[in-house]
Amino acid sequence: MILNEVYYEDCIEGMKRHLPDDSIDLIITSPPYFNARSYRQWESETAYFEEMTLAFAQCFRVLKNHHVLVLNVADISCKGGTSKWTFEKFPLIAEFTHVLRKIGFEYVDTFVWDKGEVESKRGTEPYPFYFNPINCHEGIIIFHKHVLDPTKIPCPKCGKTIVQNNGQSERGVQSWECTNQDCQRSDANRGVRFSARSNMMQDGKIPTNKIPEKIVKTWRRDIVKIKPVFKIASDGTNILGHSAPFPEDIPDFAIRSYSYTGDVVLDPYMGSGTVGRVARKLDRKWIGFELHDTFKHVIDKQTLKHIKDIRNFF
């Protein structure tokens, strides 16, 4: 696969073609919301989620074991449900959570992205059955991939595979106990207990991976206030070139919290290229897929590919 590159093709076939199993350290994405934009439309909600299921099944395949997928999505009001002529509200946050759990992802948490006062042309009247709120939040959903692996791994203390099964520290995470009597023992004569995931997390405790205090403080609460990206000028023109960008704060938090320096970050719905831009700034490699090459100039600007083309092969 080629790193620091966008493939302008369908992400389902693209991931099959270009990405090996267990090759990605972190996935951050915001898929096209059901019939919310003219450039992506589906005949029905069923057709939409059939496609999303195929895409996120590929995400599950390429993501490394015990790693993370961060999904930004929102409930949406649009046409295309039970009646193609009328508007409905679709609970995409809940439905995506259900779909990804069926694929095999473990649901971990949901952050509420408080966008503040969002402008809307939707009117209301102060009478029963007329009043409806204006949606001014989106979901940032955290999923883990844990596939149970019974392969014995060396003790992080003595380096030997004289170990025994210690159950699962969480679903899909195989835990081991070192039975080497010459290794470190507890007062109760228990050996070192560890897993592939705990080893990974301990190895990552180095200064370059430390999360800044400001980021930790901001994201300690599960409701986070972030201003949306400014994209519409006073004359109504789109100064960014894309109608649905998300702010850098989201991939900045996700990359710092769920990856290490030098890791590979994937966005299968690259959009305006924000994930690539932030990954580059935080010393990560990145890969993106984008169906619409009309956004190429926007992505190139975001990722600075118009200044320097950096490709790494392996």
Query: What residues contact residue 253 under an 8 Å CB cut-off, 6+ apart?
Result: 215, 218, 219
* Secondary structure (3-state) at 224: strand
Q: Which tokens sit at 144?
A: 């883990």
3-class DSSP assignment, residue 275:
helix
Task: Report, as an integer, the average pLDDT of 10-33.
Answer: 96
Kindly report the pTM of this predicted structure: 0.87
- Tokens 């990552």: give the residue: 204
Helix or strand run (H / E) with residue 66: strand 63-73
Write out pLDDT tens, residues 221-255.
Answer: 999 999 886 543 344 444 444 445 688 999 999 99
- Whose structure tokens read 């001014």? 136
Is residue 309 predicted with pLDDT exceeding 90?
no
d(CA 127, CA 291): 45
pLDDT at 249: 94
Q: Residue 39 contacts by C-beta under 8 Å, 6 or more apart in sequence? A: 32, 292
Distance in angstroms (rounded) separating the CA atoms of residues 298 and 198: 39
Would you identify the CATH topology of the domain 2-147+206-313? Rossmann fold (3.40.50)
Q: What's the pLDDT tens digit per position in 278-295?
A: 999 999 999 999 987 665
